[in-house]
Structure 1
């Protein structure tokens, strides 16, 4: 009777979205008591589910079930296109892409393949030098229409990339990303000689001049 009542509460939680079971260590909440207990073991290190074949232990029974496929050879995930069987769903998903990703258009010059003819034509112009997309304001020409669209922001003043932290607007996404580092403090560019780190690549390049005899 107690189990029936518990199952009833679990079903109610699943529909309502309520998460009444909390981890005493980190406070993370769960809809089911069993999920909370599985999670709690990540703190205690307890691994009660052991493989009878090799002795390897797991926190969750589901992880043991997946592990057992190594020994049994079970492959429960079939590809609906070619029928090939897989041990893990993640490997099946990767395999499915070999059927769905089609590269139909090939560049006659270098052999590079593309899904869309329009992409291939844009690429082909890098070989021919053709630049059919011209700016009506300054006359500068571009291989791709998208490059012209970005260029036009110089004339229109459009700044479509806002910083979510301070609201400042930017013309290019690359400049926004560089700006965000002023808030996060990230410094991804480091000097291989002295280890000093920098927010911008230009600052690293300027710093490298302080090391005489080294290539910049």
Structure 2
């Protein structure tokens, strides 16, 4: 009779390696981390604690890095510059998103209709046009929105807050999007081009409006 040989269980071996590489685990959800300080930061996502407060507007954050990013909205600091056109941004993620306007990359695709987007947030917003879901309600007027960002923008209308100011003329806006549209009036930037005739526009709204002159229906997604 042939002898039998024991073999290591590949799954168990993988788990042991993972435990050695990430020895700090969250007792609430089981997520593992390489460093204890990373686990500590993660725990705040469960407790809802926001220990880092903005000295300008009293808004608070769970992580120090998010506070630092937020403060730049007050100071106007933009340390991340595009190597292609020189335009600067307050956050690295904003710079990466901007790069896609040069490369044309749209890595985020809708699983329902196939539309693609340069930013994951725009994809998530687009998906709500299919589901019609609006889970974020205003406490003041009960108006509902498909994402938290739009709710926060709406709340500024009640508060009269306009934290986004144009560096050229000083005009202020309640959202970064409206400021971006305004700035293009100064720069002449028109990043939205028609695939049919190559005419360009400063906003997706005006591009869609133009496309209807060709097809009768605007099909472009937000960028």
Same fold judged by TM-score > 0.5? Answer: no
User: TM (normalized to structure 2)?
Assistant: 0.42
User: TM (normalized to structure 1)?
Assistant: 0.43
> Who wins on radius of gyration, i.e. which is larger?
1
